[in-house]
Structure 1
Amino acid sequence: MAHRSRLAGFIIDCNTGDLDAAADFWAGALGMRIAERHAGDDTAEYQQFADTPYGLDAEVQKVEHPSRVHLDIEADDIDAEAERLEKLGAKKVAFVKRWWVMEAPTGQRFCIVRMKHPELGAAPNVW
């Protein structure tokens, strides 16, 4: 069965004790404002930016691993998208709550998340 996917956005992973300060820095650096200071849940801390270019999601996330930037791919069927990307050489790292953490053949980590608004932004690819 066909599924759809597309680039969802970029997540700035920050190994920090002060997520507010990290988000304020990145908001200033990128010329964006923070839309939601507490976009996470009990096990994850995020701050989400507003008015991002092209409707992409951009967030700052507090993490325990070294700081880095990763991208999210959104799909209407995350398992089918993970399988498609495995055929291209990616590896599944872990299933976390409701998304797949993947690793590209070149070592970069990225996530496959559930598609939120398929009618907004760029048209998804159909696979």
Structure 2
Amino acid sequence: MAHRSRLAGFIIDCETGDIDAAAQFWGAALGLPPGEQEDDEGALYVGLEKHPSQLYVAVQKVDHPSRVHLDIETDDLDAEAARLEALGATKLKFVKRWWVMQAPTGHRFCVVQMHHPELGPPPNVWE
């Protein structure tokens, strides 16, 4: 069965005690005003608003070294993870509602549920 996926956005992982200060810095650096702090089952995020491409850009408080990762959104988590594994990626762990994966290049990324397929560019369709 076919499924769809596309780049959802970029998450700026910050190993910090002050997520609001981190969001203020990155918001100012990127020209994207920070929104409100969100607690998603213990994961703290501050979305940066008004990205012209409608990509999700957020600052996330983490307990690992700071880095940037991207999210791929899909309407079928398992099918997309399997597609990416066939390309050489590795599943690292399932967290809450998404897969943390690693590319053959060592970059980590997440496969997340698609929430608004009608917004932004059309998703790719994979058979």
What TM-score does the superposition give when structure 1 sets the normalisation length?
Answer: 0.97
Partners of 1:112 and 1:81 in 2: how far apart? Answer: 8
Partner residue, 1:72: 71
2:25 aligned partner: 25
Higher deviation after alignment, 99-108 or 49-58: 49-58
Between structures 1 and 2, the one with greater strand share: 2
User: CA offsets, 1:85-116, max 9 Å, x none?
Assistant: 00000000000000000000000000000001
Partner of residue 50, structure 1: 49
Match for 1:15: what amino acid?
Answer: E
Distance in 1 separating the partners of 2:48 and 2:24: 10
Q: What is the RMSD of the two structures over their aligned residues, measured on CA atoms?
A: 0.7
Cα deviation for residue 42 of structure 1 reads: 3.6
Question: What TM-score comes out, normalization by structure 2 length?
Answer: 0.97
Q: Retained in 1: the 8 A contact 2:94–2:100?
A: yes
- Letter in structure 2 aligned against 1:113: V
Counterpart of 1:122 in structure 2 is: 121
Identity %: 67
| Long gaps (5+) in structure 1 | none
Matched AA of 1:68:
R
1:107 is aligned to 2:96 = no
Q: Which residue of 2 aligns with 1:96?
A: 95
Per-residue CA deviation, residues 73-96 of structure 1 (Å, 9 max, x unaligned), is 000001100000000000000000
Partner of 1:41: 40
Tell me by how many angstroms 1:2 deviates. 0.3
Q: Which runs of 5+ in 2 are unaligned?
A: none
